[in-house]
Every structure is written in structure tokens, then in C-alpha cells.
Structure 1
Amino acid sequence: MQALAFSEASAGRGAVLTVAYCAGLGLPFLAAGLAFRKTLGVFSWVKAHYQWVMRIGGGMMIATGLLMVTGVWSSLISQMQSWSAGFTVGI
């Protein structure tokens, strides 16, 4: 996103893209901070089910590794890139 902002024709458009990038990056953290009490419930659930969270995460890592080794991962990424080939920035 930053490369797109730096390469745009005008400084104003690049600035707008940079602000959008920063907002998209920071807003989830602000929302988590504002809803801290409610998120404690989620964090306590994760803590209570730590073994399952770790097993599922490890399984996902192994599955991704196998997809990468077999070359299927590259095919999936290429397919997803073709879906967004005609995308243009609206700003």
C-alpha cells in the first residue's frame, strides 16, 4: 500500500492513501482497547482452551507447509491474484 501511495501522481492522493493505510492498521487496535472488558472474556476462553488453540494453529501451519511443498499454495495464490487483477483504487 505504501508503494502505491509513493508512486501516485499527486502528493495529496498519496497522503490520502497513507492515511487510509494507517487507519486500517490502527483502528482494530483502538477497537480492542476500547472494548477491553469484553475482549477479556475472549482472552480467558483462549486461555482455558490453550491446548486446542495450539493444536489447531499447529495443524494450520503444517497444512500450509504441505501446500507450499507440493506447489498447491502457488496455484491458490495465483488464482486469488487473478480474481483481483481488475481492481483499481477508488481514492
Structure 2
Amino acid sequence: MIEPEISLALHPGDWFRTAIVEPYGVDLIELAHHLGFTREHLTALLHGVRPLDHVSAVRLEEAFGVSSEWLLRMQESFDLAQAGQRG
């Protein structure tokens, strides 16, 4: 089976940053406080360094109306693509 070398899977944090945070100029410190995250936690999530967990997905859904299930499926697809690139 031939697989592409580059994955098109997107980390949900990267998506959230480019689709919501940056276009609307959301203040990261205020957002972190509102979500109950540390600034470091939020920054790592938004830059795809930290995986999205279930609690974070639910908090984003409650705050922005983005489906937590959809975000978690995006994280799963990203994780699978990363695993495929490693081995």
C-alpha cells in the first residue's frame, strides 16, 4: 500500500488557533483564565505541542460551541497520522 509521506491531519489546537483565536484577536491570558487553563497549557495546545484531552475539548465546546466530539476525532486523526509517520 502506498501512503503519502506528509500527513494532512491537523492538530485541533492548530485549527482552533488559526480559525478562532487569531482571526478574532482573542487574548490568550483571558482565554486561559476563562477556560481554567494555565497560559502555558493553552499555548502548548494551540501550537500542537500538547494533545487535546477530553476535559479541554468539553471546555472549548462550552465556551465556543465547537463540538468536543469533532475536536477529539481531529486529535485522534492527528495522532494516527503521527504514529504512521514514525513507523
Larger radius of gyration: 1
Q: Given the two structures, how large is their TM-score scaled by the length of structure 2?
A: 0.31
Could you say which structure has the greater relative contact order, defined with CA pairs below 8 angstroms and 6 or more residues apart? 2
Bigger helix share: 1
Q: Given the two structures, how large is their TM-score scaled by the length of structure 1?
A: 0.30
